[in-house]
Chains A and B, each alone.
Chain A
Amino acid sequence: MDKEEITESLREFKRYRDDLLHEDTSTFDHHYERLLEFCKKDKLLQSVLSPLEQRHIPDVDAWWKAATNRPSRTSLPSDPDEELLFLYRLLQSAEDRPNDVCALGIAHGHNKQKEWLEFFRTLIIRPFAEQLSNRLAQAANLATPEARAAQAVPYARIPSPKEIRIFLSHKSVDKPLVYRYYHALKTVGFDPWIDERNMPAGANLEREVLRGFEESCAAVFFITESFKDEKYLAAEVDYAIIQKRKKEKKFAIITLRYANAAAVPGLLTPYIYKDISNDLEGFDALVTALPIELGTCRWKAAAV
């Protein structure tokens, strides 16, 4: 059974059940027949009731006899499976035993037809309906795959593609190190910016670097033994500070300082600054400090 069939089956069951439990006794026979018919033909209900029918053989004749005598005995099996099937069989057998339903009520001091039926509802139908409802919930859960989850993101939290780059500022000699970050960021889904990769041939270096900053949400400075706050690196520090003033919380200046490295330039010290001993620590600090985050987990295209 698929999800829709199960949902529809439970919807129908609840309707028949509640009609039989709560509608006026003048329509009792009609609702009684409809519920029994539904129990016989519905696939979900049969998936609960059929296995019980194969395991137990309830002696309802003996029960009716004991229940309609005085003193009346109405005990049911203690085993939950057996009890549910017993109630079902009693419900079915009542169709051919209108006199016994009446005698059952009278044996318990109910002398009017309305009262017999209410007593029968209380004694047999409601316990049957409650137990069957619980079983159906379990059956429906087992037959239904886990719910999929999507994320609804407010528009205000969705950045433009032109503001999510991560500018990787570094000394040329540190390129191998910075490329490790570049590839790691790319792999997990970020959009890092590195001069060699992101600048078209023949482009004006100053302009492209400036554009790189304008399209970024973070600038990462790698302070290694070779870092010197001069020339291009000094200009990039200045650009980063300008972007920070302009974009405020939507721009992060992240400084990763390796062991034995030069001092962090004074202009960068008010911003995020982390002493690290390896790339993994650096990557963790970088991702933590970013003002953007990645979305929900999903299967890769090749896996589905």
Chain B
Amino acid sequence: MQYAVSISTDRDGFLRRSCASCGRDFKTQISESELQWALAFQVQRMGLDIGSDVLSTTNEGPRVLRCPYCAFPGKDQDMHTDETVNYLKRVILREVVMPQLNDFFSGLENIFGRGGSRGQVSIRFEHTPGVKALRPIHGPEPPDMDIVEFICCGKKAKVAGGWTDVQVCVFCGAEVIVL
């Protein structure tokens, strides 16, 4: 099964995040494997046993990100904005869940739709697949916030303009000071 997921980053290549603890927004750069993890996690969260292929295509595990405002450490997939989570859910609903439901109901129709034979109590089942849900759109992402380069691991994040009280590295957790 293949489908396209296109996450919108800002002009500088940063994806908006939201701290799972304090709720404030920051941004990080995101790789394809991280996007796969985020998607696989949403697939699993939606209660489907179809995430194994997605998970096995990457060797990297989900990383831990630390909030630049409150230093809360959270798993990568827990630090997405509602907008991104809703987008991923809509993609999964459209590309995975709805086709499976349609297959399932078509199967029921084949089983029950013929009606019963003599001497049996039967039900009839008819299923009309609905119009396919619209392909969701992610973004556009405004080029807001200021870049902070963490020289401990050479990675960059974006934090709210004027916020200089970053105390730990978003990526490795080292204690830092913004100069």
Contacts and interface: CB of A to CB of B under 8 A. Distances in A.
Interface of A: 3-4, 6-7, 10, 14, 17-18, 21-22, 110, 114-115, 118-119, 121-122, 126, 129-130, 133-134, 136-137, 140-141, 144, 147-158, 295-296
Interface residues of B, number: 39
Interface stretch (B42-50, B72-80, B102-110, B171-179): B171-179
A147 B137 contact: no
Contact of A22 (B12, B90, B158): B90
Contact of A140 (B142, B148, B166, B179): B142
A51 B36 CA distance: 40
Contacts of B12: 147
Contacts of B179: 150-153, 295-296
A151 B148 contact: yes
A295 B161 CA distance: 20
Nearest to B164: A150
B144 A3 contact: yes
B140 A140 contact: yes
Given A6-B142, A22-B133, A137-B140, A152 B166 contact: yes
A10 B144 CA distance: 11
Question: Chain B's interface: helix, strand, loop or mixed, by majority?
Answer: loop
Contact of B178 (A136, A151, A157): A151
Interface in B110-150: 130-131, 133-137, 139-150
Contact of A133 (B140, B144, B176): B140
A118 B133 CA distance: 8
A137 B139 contact: yes
Contacts of B151: 151-154, 157
A115 B132 CA distance: 10
B131 A133 contact: no
B152 interface: yes
Contact of B136 (A18, A136, A147, A150): A18
